[in-house]
Amino acid sequence: MSDTIFAALDRLAIELPSWGFANTGTRFGKFIQPSAAATIEEKLCDAAEVHRLMGCCPTVAVHTAWDFPKGLDSAGEIARRAESKGVRIGSVNPTLFQDQEYKYGSLGNPDPEVRKRALDHILESLKIARATGSKELVLWFADGSNYPGTANIRHRKAWFEEALQTVGGMLSADETMLVEYKPFEPAFYHTDIADWGMALHFARKAGSQARVLVDTGHHYHTQNIEQIVAWLMSEGMLGGFHFNDRRYADDDLTVGSIDPYQLFRIFYEIFLFGWEQGAPPEISYMVDQSHNLKNKIEAVIQTVSTVQEVVAKAALVDYEALARHQDRCDLIDAEECLRKAFRTDVTNTIFQWRESRNLPADPLAAFRESGYTARATAERGSRNRAGAASYVES
């Protein structure tokens, strides 16, 4: 059992989001944390601390508008800062939703000038990715409409196809573009990329370097995410994940906090595919969470720990026996193959793996004992509290 789990954990790499360490809010308000990061330097420091404790988070996802205030001119320097802290710049995310010009959409905007600016921003983000050494461009769009009859859905589809084909044509053979989807919010009548089928369509239109990104929170309440994962893998189009969880429509909860068995079932499909193919599929695993109430670094440690636990359990499934039971329609025995692995306590084995890799057995306890939050609060607290006051006054 130990060898199987050790091998699975050695292969696992989880990318952390720069924005997950910053003060963020909901539509209703923002709750400030004194230790939260504000600059890319501070975000990289926080991500590096998680990687130091967990040993499997070597890259940091960035948003171009938030993390590169000088655009392409700052990309090389930021990449060097990341490397000096023991991490690298990972996926680059164009920011296509916050500017006033995107009120009616970005690539789906009826104004051709706005569509051009959005496309230019994506292409600039690709240049930034290359300057940082990143090979992955992740695209999520808030585009859609709130009321019937207010947008031409077919025209918007065509505009997306045209723009994404342009971006796809710019990618080199070692670069990947991931297309994300979300059923609703902030657009509540129609969303231009609302489900995995639409994302798959656009990825195929974009060319051979484009894949679909599955956000584990971006689904309707009863949707079978693991079936979507299985279908995308069978089509060779699953590019990556954004890890979080949701109750009803939330998508910023700590991964596995609501339904860890669903996360296990997703990894079961991935491990089954790898067992059948003789090698694990190439999939990017990324965290996408912005915690307003939990300590941000502690929440990320919880997330990474949960993924490690679920991966360890998925690795323990007897896939050879499972295949026999499936072929014979032995329903109970097949299901028990999953249930047995999921019920297995892998805690001590994970502790052993961590210690064998010179990592703390209990990373959350080690973080709390390190005094990192107190030091970050001392360095950042006055600025964060001043920001909270100005936010309330405004």
> What residue spans define the domains of the chain?
12-295
- pTM score: 0.96
Q: CA triplet 59, 63, 68: central angle to 5 degrees?
A: 100
Beta-carbon neighbour count of residue 250 at 10 Å? 13
**CB-hemisphere CA count at 13 Å for 88?**
14
- Kindly give the confidence (pLDDT) of every residue in the chain, 394 residues in length, as a single tens digit, with 9 standing for 90 and above: 899 999 999 999 999 999 999 998 777 888 899 999 999 999 999 999 999 999 999 999 999 999 998 999 999 999 999 999 999 999 999 999 999 999 999 999 999 999 999 999 999 999 999 999 999 999 999 999 999 999 999 999 999 999 999 999 999 999 999 999 999 999 999 999 999 999 999 999 999 999 999 999 999 988 999 999 999 999 999 999 999 999 987 778 999 999 999 999 999 999 999 999 999 999 999 999 999 899 999 999 999 999 999 999 999 999 999 999 999 999 999 999 999 999 999 999 999 999 999 999 999 999 999 999 999 999 998 899 876 655 444 3
Q: Which of 81, 85, 79, 86 is nearest to 130 (CA)?
A: 79
pLDDT at residue number 234: 98
Pick the CATH number of 12-295 from 3.30.70.930, 3.20.20.150, 3.40.605.10, 3.40.50.720: 3.20.20.150
pLDDT at residue number 390: 53
Q: Which of 61, 386, 102, 53 is nearest to 241 (CA)?
A: 61
